Amino acid sequence: MSDTWRWRWAMLPAAGLLIGGVLLPILLTIRISVAQTEAGTWDTPSGWTMRYHAELLSESSGRALILGTLLRGIGIAIGTLLVALPVALWLAEQSPRVRGIAVLVILLPKLVSALVLVIGLMWLLGPGGPLNSGLMLLGVIADPLPLTNGPAGAMLVEMLLLFPYAALMLTLGRSRIDPLGIQAARSLGATPRQVLWRVILPQMGPMIRITSVLMLIWATGAILGPWFFGRPTDWGLAVEVQRQLFERLQLPRAAAAAVWMLILVGTAALGLWQRPVRRSMPRN
């Protein structure tokens, strides 16, 4: 048996996991969202209906939910990228020892349960927490910032949860740049700013675009930040799915909200296959 066929057999468990654990549940969710049920049951659909999608789109709160999810996702993705990019550029200039320690620190939010972070952040960002108390003591603000009951806190928490992924991906993109090209630009008299904007960032372009799309995908499905730190108007589609599914026991309505979240995520995922990214991908 050739090595090619041997690897194909080894990929069967992963293929089965993706088909049975990802593709099939997505298809079933779409089916449930358009299932016409009788006597309040959903497991024995008698036909097809767009009722639950129509209800979601006809309500002003539903349209605001979809638009708010997209806008908050864009804001979280941009904010995370702006914070992670300087860190990635700094890491590339450090020694292996310093880089290893820094990566460990960056991964700290992922080494503990997200709920542990949420509990600590609720006290840290609260009206009487250290952040607001310190800013008020310095005279920066007169009243506490609404970081535990508003969009700012919800987005800040999601940025914290996504930051390690963005920082490591961008660090990988920066590490793949040939240092000889940077040295050549410097030897020709390029300033540090010119090296950054004309040499480093253009070559990091594909990884920056891919990271941006992934941050948007993950931010669109954010639930912890909006649920614990946002107001009801800050809740996105992910929170709506949870509420309809576990609180109101409305599985078809939850499925409809999940489908619209898939639509937003799928639209963002198309950015992975934009022509500039494909053209910049290395070929074997």
* CATH code at position 71: 1.10.3720.10
Single out the residue of 107, 280, 272 nearest to residue 204, CA to CA: 280
The boundaries of the domain holding residue 218 are: 47-280
Q: How many domains does the chain have?
A: 1
* Per-residue tokens: 191: 């300033």
Residue 80 counted as domain residue: yes
The owner of tokens 């939910």 is: 65
Q: What is the mean pLDDT of each run of 10 residues along the chain (284 residues)?
A: 66 86 87 73 67 85 87 91 94 88 88 84 86 88 84 90 93 89 87 89 89 89 87 85 84 89 80 51 44
pTM (predicted TM-score)? 0.82
Single out the residue of 214, 83, 238 nearest to residue 154, CA to CA: 238
Residue 23 counted as domain residue: no
Residue 269 counted as domain residue: yes
Residue 7 counted as domain residue: no
Read off the amino acid at residue 188: L
Read off the amino acid at residue 66: I
Residue 135 counted as domain residue: yes
